[in-house]
């Protein structure tokens, strides 16, 4: 039996909004560690990894590891029926073919439940080893979102370079080209407004902007984003989910013809 009670239901709503445009169907895995998901987009260019740790739930019961295949668009539709202040409980029976989402409003005078059929998904799980990255940049998530949006009005791809000068985002298109440099800046009022650059080695990689724009749907989950880059690896954009875990997006680079 599975029963997960999340007081801050809005988190789950935001998580679904962050993933549903990138991934259509995915398996949610539930174990003693937490509620997790790993899925690739249909073209296998990007991957999303979600972890909501068991400690972050008010009540977490998972008698045995369970995998639940769901259409993320349908889950998102159901979660739109939950208020932002609602408590969300996810329930499933071992071996059952449905999952139930229950929403309780803060006054506890309205309780809704939605039962959804699970899907049998044949999804591939990739092993992602810990890696040493050439550069790790932490910056305000809203700033990153703004940069991706602004550059995609000019070009389709972005070259992200990290040097001692800072992190540079460059694009080119029919109307011209653009460069945005963010320097390290730790003299800010709040730590989440800082741009912090850790660089072991200069790195420069090219990425498709449409995927980065899709990742920025997670902006409301975290005030900061951490971008990890290595010349031999996909980019990782990590949004921490306060007290619970993270949502990480991996993006394979583009290379010269």
Write out the residues near another protein by the rule CB under 8 A.
40, 43-47, 124-128, 156-157, 206, 208, 233-234, 250-257
What span, in angstroms and rounded, lies between the C-alpha atoms of 195 and 223?
A: 12
Side by side, which strands form the sheet with 176-182?
176-182, 166-173, 157-163, 203-208
CA dist., res. 48 & res. 114, Å (int): 26
Q: Which is nearer to another protein, 34 or 234 (CB)?
A: 234
Of the candidates 3, 67, 6, the residue with the CA atom closest to the CA atom of residue 36: 67
CB-CB contact of 65 with 31 (8 Å): yes
Helix (H, G, I), strand (E, B), or coil: what is residue 149? helix
Residue whose CB is less far from another protein, 178 or 194? 178
Using the 8-state DSSP alphabet, how is residue 252 labeled?
P
Q: How far is the CB of 23 from another protein (least distance, A)?
A: 12
CB count, 10 Å around CB of 42?
10
Phi, psi (5° rounding) for residue 19? -105, -25
Least Å distance, CB 38 to another protein, is 10
Please count the CA atoms within 13 angstroms of the CA of 72 that sit on its side-chain side: 23
Residue 22: CB minimum distance to another protein, A? 12
Give residues with Cβ within 8 angstroms of 83, minimum separation 6: 9, 103, 105
Q: Decide whether 197 or 252 has the Cβ nearer to another protein.
A: 252
C-beta closer to another protein: residue 120 or 257: 257
Q: Which is nearer to another protein, 157 or 226 (CB)?
A: 157
Q: How far is the CB of 149 from another protein (least distance, A)?
A: 20
Shortest distance (Å) from residue 129 CB to another protein: 8
Minimum Å gap between C-beta 126 and another protein is 4
- Pick between residue 86 and residue 238 the one whose CB is nearest to another protein: 238
């Amino acid at each position: 039996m599975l029963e997960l009670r999340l007081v801050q239901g809005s988190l789950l709503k935001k998580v679904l909004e962050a993933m549903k445009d990138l991934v259509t169907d995915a398996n949610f895995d539930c174990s003693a560690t937490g509620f997790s998901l790993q899925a690739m987009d249909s073209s296998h260019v990007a991957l999303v990894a979600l972890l909501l740790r068991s400690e972050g739930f008010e009540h977490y019961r998972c008698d045995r590891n369970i995998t639940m295949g769901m259409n993320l668009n349908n889950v998102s539709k159901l979660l739109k029926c939950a208020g932002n202040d609602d408590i969300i409980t996810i329930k499933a029976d071992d071996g059952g073919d449905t999952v139930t989402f229950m929403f309780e409003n803060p006054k506890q005078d309205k309780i809704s439940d939605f039962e959804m059929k699970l899907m049998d998904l044949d999804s591939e799980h990739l092993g992602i080893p810990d890696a040493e990255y050439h550069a790790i940049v932490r910056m305000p998530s809203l700033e990153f979102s703004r940069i991706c949006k602004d550059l995609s009005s000019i070009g389709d791809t972005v070259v992200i370079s990290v040097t001692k000068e800072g992190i540079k985002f460059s694009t080119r298109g029919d109307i011209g080209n653009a460069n945005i440099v963010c320097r390290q800046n730790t003299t800010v009022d709040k730590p989440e407004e800082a741009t912090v650059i850790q660089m072991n080695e200069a790195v420069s990689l090219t990425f498709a902007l449409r995927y980065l724009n899709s990742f920025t749907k997670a902006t409301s989950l975290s005030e900061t984003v951490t971008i990890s880059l290595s010349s031999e690896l996909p980019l990782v954009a990590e949004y921490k989910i306060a007290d619970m875990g993270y949502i990480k997006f991996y993006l394979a680079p583009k290379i010269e013809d």
